[in-house]
Amino acid sequence: MSDVFDIIRFNDQGLVTAIAQQHDTGEVLMLAWMNREAIEETLATGRVCYFSRSRNGLWRKGETSGQVQTLIELRVDCDGDALLVLVDQPGVACHTGRRSCFYRAMGKDGTVTTLTEPLIDPHTLYGS
């Protein structure tokens, strides 16, 4: 068996992409980024922690919104530059109050259609 950090290839900002997928339904919930510290914390605590590029710091998912993700399994891809985070996500993953961030579909003509509406008012998630 190899060590995780021998395999993961971080980009020049020290980050790797991380796809969050609901472990039982297969829903792809969101795409975010992790640095080494976020991976270590996620593995150690079993609560998923990302790296926020906009806030330039660790982002413990659910810290503000309450929509915590519990780690089921962390996987790494063939060339080590992407992670698949199998999670248990009750409630919603998206800051818009939707279950998944991928709620818009593109038509062949380039138009965009909204597939789902928010389950929770975003003001409830983050305060008004």
SS3 32: strand
Of 12 and 128, which CB lies nearer to a copy of itself in the complex structure? Answer: 12
Among 15, 30, 92, 125, binds a copy of itself (CB under 8 A): 30
Encode 32-45: b = buried (16+ Cβ within 10 Å), e = exposed: bbbbeebbebbeee
Report the nearest approach of a copy of itself to the CB of residue 39 (Å). Answer: 8
Query: Phi/psi at 108 (nearest 5 deg)?
Result: -65, -25
Report the nearest approach of a copy of itself to the CB of residue 11 (Å). Answer: 11
Among 110, 117, 127, 128, binds a copy of itself (CB under 8 A): 110
Among 17, 58, 91, 120, binds a copy of itself (CB under 8 A): 17
- Is 101 assigned a ligand-binding role in the annotation? yes
Report the nearest approach of a copy of itself to the CB of residue 10 (Å). Answer: 15
CA-based nearest residue to 39, from 47, 27, 31, 28: 47
Query: Rounded distance, CA 51 to CA 54, Å?
Result: 9
